[in-house]
Structure 1
Amino acid sequence: MLSNDKAGLPATILLIRHGETAWNADKRLQGHLDIALNAEGERQAALLGAALASEPIDHIVSSDLLRARQTAEAIARPRGLAIGIDRALRERCYGGFEGLLYSEIAFRFPLEFAAWQARDVDAVLPLGANRGESFRQFFERSMRAIMAHAAAHPGQTIALVAHGGVLECAYRDALGLPLETPRDFKVLNASVNRFVVEQGRLRLLSWGEVAHLQPAVLDDIG
């Protein structure tokens, strides 16, 4: 049970993107498709776990997708913590775009691709193995999940292991960036991104920490 002296304190969130996958390297859109880390992603996850081993973390929660769970396990293993699983921390669902290279998406779905690249946040994606989300729907889902974990653990530090899109949503929310504006910031594999939640709002403390990783890591495909 949380002690009363922490009840009014802000939660600290370490928002972490999963390590690299083969599809990240190929610039193939993953979305809700369940892709494992590649060898480089496993290396990144191990380095991430070692870098965070001495930091106070009270809870670790992961997206249910394998690439996030594998990354979370590397953080949890040295400290003996259990991992909570939250499907709401999944990447955006891209419907019929999923599993395709950017060039393939542009060829097969030219109108939908153009709306996506133009930052139409309410654009409907084509149906695929999964039903796609608009960016606005995805933003609302991601922020509800992040803020729910913060509200459940005031005064504590939570590591949330998720995906590039979820990190983008948190960054936009913290800085008050409109959803329609281009993404001009990097979202890196196995990066640590720190926020504090104060008065029901995210405040950014640091972004894109990757000093624990060598060589350079991939940006999220934008």
Structure 2
Amino acid sequence: MTETVLYLTRHGQTEWNLQKRMQGHQNSALTTLGKQQAEWLKERLEGENLGAIYSSSSLRAFHTAQILRGNRTLPIQQLDELMEINMGIWEGMKTEQIEQDYPLQYARFFTSPDLYVPVSLGETYEQLEQRLIPAVECILNDNPGQKLLIVTHRMTLKVIMAHFLNKSLREIGEMPDIFSTALCKVQVIDGKSYVDLLGDTSHYRGAQNQESKIGKATC
């Protein structure tokens, strides 16, 4: 029997999360809270004997991965395929302005991913899935029997978890939100996948739970 364990998380809170700006392929720095969120998750994962760490090539994900690595000597393997969905001209815009200017597209982005079409230059969810899922499968195939960590993004992580839960793109809009550094866990045993955790935030402390209200605003 071969058992591979995949831990997945979203990056810590960023400055643009606070400003309620869409990030996508653009980037903003982790906030003090974002770094603290990563520290809390680092403590939670300290006892796990990780065989490899993968990160989106976006700096906010890579910096989160650096914190999560802790004292391990593992390299962090950065992959463009793990980046957030490309949002085109929405990137850098405040969500309030996007919702006002593009109400139908904005609503579909969150609630009907199968119907979402980017306004300009961005990706559909189908395109995201096509670049993302083969990369995740490759990570699993390259590391059989290992414990692995992937640090990625909100919508990217939803698409990954929908894949392991055998959900369609349409059903992603019905899935629970995934907050900053929330933890997902998938066991792959002899080719069959079992989801143990989906967006777990039990490592959050104190008033940190208020951040979830911010996490719903931007990607």
TM-score range normalised by the length of the shorter chain: 0.7 to 0.9
Separation of aligned partners in 2, 1:138 and 1:151: 20
Q: In structure 2, how many angstroms separate the alpha carbons of the residues matched to 1:120 and 1:58?
A: 33
Match of 2:162 in 1: 172
98-107 or 147-156: bigger deviation: 98-107
1:101 maps to 94
Distance in 2 of aligned mates of 1:94 and 1:112: 11
- 1:151 CA displacement: 0.8
1:27 maps to what in 2?
A: 20
Instruction: State yes or no: 1:189 paired with 2:180.
Output: yes
Deviation at 1:76, TM superposition (A): 1.5
CA distance in 1, matches of 2:193, 2:132: 13
SS of 1:58 mapped into structure 2: strand
> How far is the alpha carbon of 1:118 from its aligned partner?
5.5
Q: 2:23 touches 2:92 (CA, 8 Å); kept in 1?
A: yes
Q: In the alignment, what sits opposite 1:132?
A: 122
Give 1:142's aligned amino acid. L
- CA offset at residue 33 of structure 1? 0.5
| Pick aligned residue for 1:65 from 32, 46, 58 | 58
User: 2: distance between equivalents of 1:104 and 1:83?
Assistant: 36
Q: Could you say which residue in structure 2 is the equivalent of 1:161? A: 151
Distance 1:201 1:35 in 2: 37
The runs of 5 or more residues in structure 2 that have no matched partner are none
Q: Indicate if the aligned counterparts of 1:32 and 1:90 stay in contact, CA closer than 8 A.
A: yes
Residues of 1 paired with 2:202 and 2:106: CA distance? Answer: 35
CA distance in 2, matches of 1:70, 1:52: 16
Task: Write the distance in 2 (CA, Å) between the matches of 1:113 and 1:29.
Answer: 11
Partner of 1:82: 75
Question: Are 1:209 and 2:200 counterparts?
Answer: yes
- How far did 1:157 drift? 0.8
> Cα offset for 1:170?
2.0
Paired AA for residue 174 in structure 2: R
How far has the Cα of 1:220 moved from its partner? 4.2
Cα distance, 1:80 vs structure 2: 2.3
Instruction: From the two aligned structures, give the one with the greater helix fraction.
Output: 2
Once the two structures are superposed, the pairs formed by residues 139-158 of structure 1 within 5 Å of their partners are: 139-158=129-148
Hey, what's the Cα distance between the residues in 1 that align with 2:162 and 2:53?
A: 23
2: distance between equivalents of 1:213 and 1:102? 26
Number of residues paired by the alignment? 212
Deviation, 1:122, is 5.2
How large is the RMSD of aligned CA atoms in angstroms? 2.1
Residues 14-36 of structure 1 deviation map (CA, whole Å, 9 limit, x = unaligned): 01111111222333211111212
CA distance in 2, matches of 1:64, 1:23: 18
Q: Is the 8 A contact 2:48 2:147 kept in 1?
A: no
Query: In the aligned structure 2, how far is the partner of 1:120 from the partner of 1:172?
Result: 12
Q: Tell me, which stretches of 5 or more residues in structure 1 are unaligned?
A: 1-7
